[in-house]
A and B are shown apart, each in its own frame.
Chain A
Amino acid sequence: MTAAQMSEVQTILAEEFEAVLEAWFATQKREGVRRPDLFSDAESRRQLSELLRAFAAALQQADLSTAVDIEAEAWSDLRLALSEVTLVRTERGVAPWEMTAFVLALKQPVASLLQERLSDDTGRLLQEVSDFGRVVDAFAMHINEHFIAERDEIIDRQRAEMMELSTPVVQLWERVLTIPLIGTLDSMRAQEVMENLLNAIVEHQAEVVIVDITGVRVVDTQVAQHLLRTAAAVRLMGAEAIISGISPKIAQTMVELGVDVGEVTTRPTIRAALAEAFRRVGFSIARIEDTRV
């Protein structure tokens, strides 16, 4: 659309900016997405006004005869304004659907203004309403994509953080290490556990390693195989592995599965495993004699 043949929407935004703003505001109020609990009227109006101004400016440059490409240069200021408002609103706890409804609420007031002004030209009215609808829809979709991208980023970051956190090898005493396993032991984590553990054995000159699976909910044949392979590798390094935290439920399930732990030492609790570890490295735990009497 060239500047020469200004669309009715552009005229409306130029001549009745305040009216559109108020109507948009009113629609949001009616649909319950205004969130007066989070934003004052003045603040909300300022956000809407910025968006609407950016919107009007973008319409001057955009070409609506083809598909609306919100990533195009013409829309850059609007995208910026949109992400600012989205950020402010989501930081205060506005849900994605509310943010979408917040934008879509612009459709109806503009459509009724178009209807008033173009009542004698149905063809043009339909064209303008449909063009405007496409732009607002593209907008709403852009917001959704924005949300999804942001959420994916958070999930990826958390996954990476969890990966790092998930396999800490802790020295309990001289020559005694433990690795508490939590959650799922898939092939990737099993590989990490193995590497971290074997390196720690060298570093701490460990003789006993307690692999605690209290936090592992399901021990299927693959998890069992990972654990037994880890124990075998530990033995090749000259240390002994004790698997602790096998609950009665998991023990029964493993028997039904036909998993044989063979020579690997197991203990029901990490406490029992620790006592066994101390015995092997030549320490014992004794109560301090009460000298206060």
Chain B
Amino acid sequence: MNRPPGEPAARVELCRERDLAAARLAVSKLLDAMGARALRKTRFVTAVSEIARNALDHGGGGTLEVWQLARPARIRVLCRDAGPGIADLELALTDGFSTARSMGKGLGGARRLVDEFRIESRPGGGTTVEMVSKL
């Protein structure tokens, strides 16, 4: 996945559960600064919460970066982990599928909450999720 030019507006290392709150806060702050609509903000921050938690719980931790995109104004998030990766992406995106004892709706749900959703993963090679949303 290509990194957009320039430095991200924010970067959060995801090492423990409280970092998820930091990730949500960073995205939330940027959306406020960009003047996003309240519903858009709730949806995007919720999606970020899902993928950041996946990176932490299944990927053993990761990094989340946030970019501000121009023309048209959008927000972009890149979340990477160096975990075991996902063997079957289609299956992982299916509602109700879970390797942990969770709802199994996080990944598919996150995809439904954003405008663009890309995921790259290979067994042993970690997982990268990219999400973009309009304001």
Contact = CB atoms under 8 A, between A and B. Distances in A.
Interface of A: 184, 186-188, 217-222, 224-225, 248-250, 252-253, 256-259
Contacts of A257: 46, 50, 105-106, 109, 112-113
Contacts of B109: 221, 256-259
Contact of B108 (A184, A188, A217, A258): A258
A249 B17 CA distance: 24
B42 A220 contact: no
B95 to A, nearest CB: 5
A222 B100 CA distance: 12
A218 B49 contact: yes
B17 A256 contact: no
Contacts of B45: 217-218
Nearest to A189: B17
Contacts of B24: 184, 217-218
Given A224-B103, A258-B108, 19 more contacts: A184-B20, A184-B21, A186-B20, A187-B17, A217-B28, A217-B45, A218-B45, A218-B46, A220-B46, A220-B49, A220-B50, A220-B53, A221-B102, A221-B105, A222-B102, A248-B39, A253-B39, A257-B106, A259-B105
A157 to B, nearest CB: 16
A225 B87 CA distance: 25
16 contacts: A186-B18, A188-B17, A217-B28, A217-B42, A218-B24, A218-B42, A220-B53, A222-B53, A222-B103, A249-B38, A252-B39, A253-B46, A253-B113, A257-B109, A258-B105, A258-B108
Contacts of B58: none
A190 B13 CA distance: 23
Contacts of A222: 49, 53, 102-103, 106
The number of chain B residues touching the other chain, given as a range, is 20 to 34
Interface of B: 17-18, 20-21, 24, 28, 38-39, 42-43, 45-46, 49-50, 53, 95, 102-103, 105-106, 108-109, 112-113
B50 A258 contact: no
Contacts of A184: 20-21, 24
B45, B103, B106: residue with the most chain A Cβ atoms closer than 10 Å: B103
Nearest to B44: A253
Given A222-B102, A257-B105, A257-B113, A250 B42 contact: yes
A186 B46 contact: no
Contact of B103 (A186, A218, A256, A259): A259
Contact of B21 (A186, A221, A225, A256): A186
A220 B106 contact: yes
A231 to B, nearest CB: 14
Given A186-B17, A221-B103, A253 B43 contact: yes
A225 to B, nearest CB: 5
B51 to A, nearest CB: 10
A256 B102 contact: no
A253 B103 CA distance: 15
Contacts of A219: 46
A225 B102 contact: yes
A126 B67 CA distance: 49
Contacts of A249: 38-39, 42-43
A256 B20 CA distance: 21
Given A186-B21, A187-B17, A256 B43 contact: yes
Contacts of B108: 258
B14 to A, nearest CB: 13
A250 B113 CA distance: 12
Contacts of A224: 103
A221 B103 CA distance: 7
